Amino acid sequence: MVLAYHGGVPGLSRGGFYGVDVFFVLSGFLITSLLVGQEASGGVRFAAFWARRARRLLPALVVMLAAVDLYVAYLAPAGRYPGFRGDALSVLFYVSNWHFIAVSSNYFASASPSLLTHTWSLAIEEQFYLVWPLVVWATARAARRAGRIGPAGAVAAVAGAGAVLSAAWMAVGYRAGQPASRLYFGTDTHASSLLVGAALGAAMTAAAGRRRAPTGPARRARLATPMAVGALAALGWAACSVGSSNGLAYQGGFLGVAAVTAVLLGALTVHPGGAAARVLSVRPVAYAGRISYGMYLWYFPLFALVDHSSTGLSGAALLALRVAADVGVAAASHHLIETRFLHRLPPGPLPGFPGRRPVVAVAAGAAAVVGLVALTAPAGMSGPGPGPGPGRLALAGATTAAGPSGSQLAGAAPLRLLVIGDSTGLTLGLALGFPAVEQRYGLVVDDAAVMGCGLAVSARVEDHGRRIPAPAACNASSPAADLWPARLRSQIATFHPDVVLVASGRWELDSSQPRPGGRWTDISQPADRAYVSGQLQLAASIARAGGARLALATAPCFSSGETPGGSPWPEDGRRRLDAYNGVVRSVAAGQPGATVVDLEALVCPGGRFRTVIGGVTVRAPDGIHYPFFDIAQPAAAAPDTEAQAQRFGLWVAPRILAALRTRPVASG
């Protein structure tokens, strides 16, 4: 389910992520059955339990982590994975789920900023392994003292109550407006599936202890297969129907998936000779189960690296190659690393693998490699290419390829430039607003662009396959005073700009739902083009009313990754881009004194996406923004340092001024 979700398989690409919850239930069931059994036969052996978990999980994890660290540090394109140092260290200490919450990572965004996003579930598992044995021990001890319910029954009751409370806490957070990833990554909000499995394991152990004779085997056999088939059908429906943007998922959906999985697991356990159990016991399926930990460890980085751009494949062929690579690496991990450490096998050939001597030293030293790479590589793990540039002051006197130092409007006061638009305009305005840029080119810049919001007003938008509500400044349900036209009028009245530069487009290239419950549309459709044209004309009329000239910027080409199936995202497509830029030129032609600033021609020469032009970084690693999308963080990873963003500002400012028909002259 998980591989199908991230591989873009139709149907399962909506909710295949529930496969993680299926595994959570299974894990909770197995671990709790083991713990309750140990407790009944002399007490939980904590040290042995934790040591076995460490031998089972850590060696393969650190090998995967070391491999990914080395790739990101020394082979990946510069700045592709900013903040990787923190990602790697959080994985090593099994707190990556909270780390990804802290950095606002989004599991459901296909263009993930980290190759380790999938480790959130491993972190929750390990936290469960650390805490749950203590809970089982304390609950069983209290149950014996009370004498009203057996230890296994008490553990089942505690686990069941915990599952309900965790699911309720997730629902409360959803209704309070917490981000989906906070609810999904949180141990507190996503423990319900583990606890459902724990409740099943404890309850079945308690039932087995009470059973005096094999009562009703025929009845159980008759019910097991229909229950298993029904549970599988319910899981299939959830995976194909209830996606990450559906509120049902966070308001009982995950608990429901866990409950259905528990029914399936219970049916398979009470009747292991049934048809469903036999199907799931065929050798290829059973072998996939044995190597499933390795498959999960490696699939996310492998899927990111084995993509359309690196293979030329897409669709079913790409998925087949990805799965084959994942199975191959997972099999090697299982036989060469996991089995040896788990069973403490001595060095030498493994059973079934004569003549192959695994390099166990790789696993033993992998943790050291992870720590060394994470602590010594550049903060952004930027890979080949120039390191972080000099600081803000060092670039104050830098020259550009477009004119001598000190260029500004001839004999004029500084040009007051107001930038409006979406987050592409925001990053452009930030680059132009550096003091060194303003002083060199005679500018005073006010950046009033809005993050995640352009000129089109809608109810929801679809970006990278996710349908999300529009922000307040461009949400159809917002009061007029909160929308961008009112904000623009206020900004003009306060700032008194000479020129209003409209730099948008990415927002308008997304599919949108104009009003709640309305039909989805995009700018390739005539009605949407006409609407966007009207919004640009509205911006022009507001600018003229405030006494400012209007400059309309074309949108640059975008390269924000691939769909899970290997094709470009629709919002990156040339059809939508040409439609928007055609509207920009048409509106500018009909507005007296309006100017077109052709940013596409500047940063995408020949229509090709470029990250660096003439040694200057012109685009951020996300393939959407100008350097830097996160300029508010001075210590951000290369190539998104302040220095490089400022250098972009020094590069682009004279080109924008040239488009505004100004004449750069030397100062002094």
| pLDDT tens sequence across 234-261 | 999 999 999 888 889 999 999 999 999 9
Label residue 334 by pLDDT band (50, 70, 90): very high
Mean pLDDT of 70-83: 78
Q: Quote the tokens at residue 149.
A: 């319910």
The label of the residue with tokens 């686990």 reads 159
* Weakest mean pLDDT among 51-60, 74-83, 115-124, 341-350: 341-350
| Phi/psi-derived region of residue 199, left when phi > 0, alpha when psi is between -120 and 50, beta in every other case | alpha
Lowest mean pLDDT among 129-133, 168-172, 243-247: 243-247
Cis peptide before 495 (omega within 30 of 0): no
Show contacts of 267-272: CB within 8 Å, 24+ apart. Answer: 267/223, 267/224, 267/225, 267/227, 267/228, 267/231, 268/224, 268/228, 269/204, 270/220, 270/224, 271/220, 271/221, 271/224, 271/225
Residues 180-198 have pLDDT tens digits of 889 999 999 999 999 999 9
411: burial class by Cβ within 10 Å (0-12, 13-18, 19+)?
Answer: exposed
Instruction: Determine the Cα–Cα distance for residues 329 and 60; give it in Å rounded to an integer.
Output: 11
Contact partners, residue 111, CB within 8 Å, separation at least 6: 464, 560, 561, 622, 623
Residue pair 523/579 in contact by the 8 Å Cβ criterion = yes
Mean pLDDT score of the chain = 83
Neighbouring residues of 483: CB distance < 8 A, sequence distance ≥ 6: 457, 473, 474, 475
- Does residue 272 have a cis bond before it (omega within 30 degrees)? no
Work out the burial of residue 321: count CB atoms within 10 Å of its CB; fewer than 13 is exposed, 13-18 middle, 19 or more buried.
middle
Structure tokens at 51: 């040591």
468 phi/psi in degrees, rounded to 5: -130, 155
Q: Which residues pair with 202 in a beta bridge?
A: none
Strands 511-513 and 499-503: unpaired
- By residue count, the chain amounts to 668
pLDDT of residue 471: 87
Q: CA 641 to CA 185: how far, in whole Å?
A: 29
